[in-house]
Amino acid sequence: MTLIPPQAPLRRSRLQRLTLSRRQQTLWVIGLCSLFLLGIILSTWIIGDTGLNPILAQRNQSPSLDHPFGTDWLGRDMLSRSLHGMSLSLRVGLLAATISAFIGSSLGLAAGTLGGWVDAVITWIVDVFFSLPHLVLLILIAFAVGGGTTGVVVAVALTHWTSLARVIRAEVLQVNSSDYVQLSHRLGRSPLWIARHHMIPHIIPQLLVGLILLFPHAILHEAALSFIGIGLSPHIPAIGIILAESMRHLSTGYWWLGVMPGVLLLLAVKAFDWLGENLRDLLDPKTSQG
């Protein structure tokens, strides 16, 4: 008969409380980041056009209680402009990242499931994209499409799928070597059937996390393209355009015109990073249970 030490139940209880605490912290971080990003997206419908119209009597005011982000050279409220710009950047980044994630997951799934020359061609395309300068490729694609919102979406979507394709391909190759998939091959199941019933359910967590982690890159590169003038229209208060306009006024001491929108952009990017990392920990069996 095996005797259980009296300390064993106590240790298990402490371990369960620690695991529950870590899980709760992960859920709290996911919830707070989601609320923050959702609040930015919905802010344009809440505040409307308030603060976007020029008021020359209030121009170049430093941050205060009435204007937390200050006002610009036309008296427009920088908080309202930054929220509108960040909301637009999030929506553009959402569309571009979704298209890019679909391309990456489809190619990664095809490479891992079909193998052979299909895998070789897709791997070669991924290597070519990795060998090209990323920002230069973005600029060339956006310029070739004609710039604007369409150019930004197409450029970001066509250049951000490579990392996710490699991750999905590695996961599919791992599942493809398992016994139940090999049994499906021996039973004569088609690659499409195997991909639908065995591969896709397995890669959904990786696809979800990869999609979320694509958002920061999509947002930053959308802002970069708008900053250099080949992105969104200058008449739209996008975050990149706001930062580009503020560069002409920073030397005159109006630091808040660039710092405050930049801080909001940084917080949004970090919120996506934290959301993706904690969601990955939550979906991973190794980290979600310990």
Which pLDDT belongs to residue 2? 46
Confirm whether 267 is domain-assigned: yes
Confirm whether 190 is domain-assigned: yes
Confirm whether 208 is domain-assigned: yes
| pLDDT band, residue 231 (cuts 50/70/90) | low
When mean pLDDT is compared over 12-21, 91-100, 173-182, 232-241, the highest value belongs to 91-100
Instruction: Assess contact for 223 and 243: CB atoms under 8 A.
Output: yes
The first and second tokens of residue 71, run together, are 């006002």
CATH code for the domain in which residue 86 is found: 1.10.3720.10
Per-residue pLDDT tens digits for 176-192:
777 777 777 788 777 77
pLDDT surpasses 50 at 106? yes
pLDDT surpasses 80 at 9? no
The first and second tokens of residue 111, run together, are 């490479």
Confirm whether 16 is domain-assigned: no
Per-residue pLDDT tens digits for 28-37:
888 888 898 8
| pLDDT band, residue 286 (cuts 50/70/90) | low
Confirm whether 14 is domain-assigned: no
| pLDDT band, residue 124 (cuts 50/70/90) | very high
Which pLDDT belongs to residue 1? 44
User: Lowest mean pLDDT: which of 54-63, 193-202, 257-266?
Assistant: 193-202
| pLDDT band, residue 289 (cuts 50/70/90) | low
pLDDT surpasses 80 at 287? no
Q: What is the mean pLDDT of the chain?
A: 80
pLDDT surpasses 80 at 117? yes
Q: Could you list the residue range(s) of the whole structural domain that residue 187 is in?
A: 22-48+76-288
pTM recorded for the entire structure: 0.76
User: Lowest mean pLDDT: which of 65-79, 116-130, 232-246?
Assistant: 232-246
Q: How many domains does the chain have?
A: 1
The percent of residues above 90 in pLDDT, for the chain, comes to: 2
Which pLDDT belongs to residue 19? 52
pLDDT surpasses 80 at 156? yes
pLDDT surpasses 70 at 253? yes
| pLDDT band, residue 140 (cuts 50/70/90) | confident
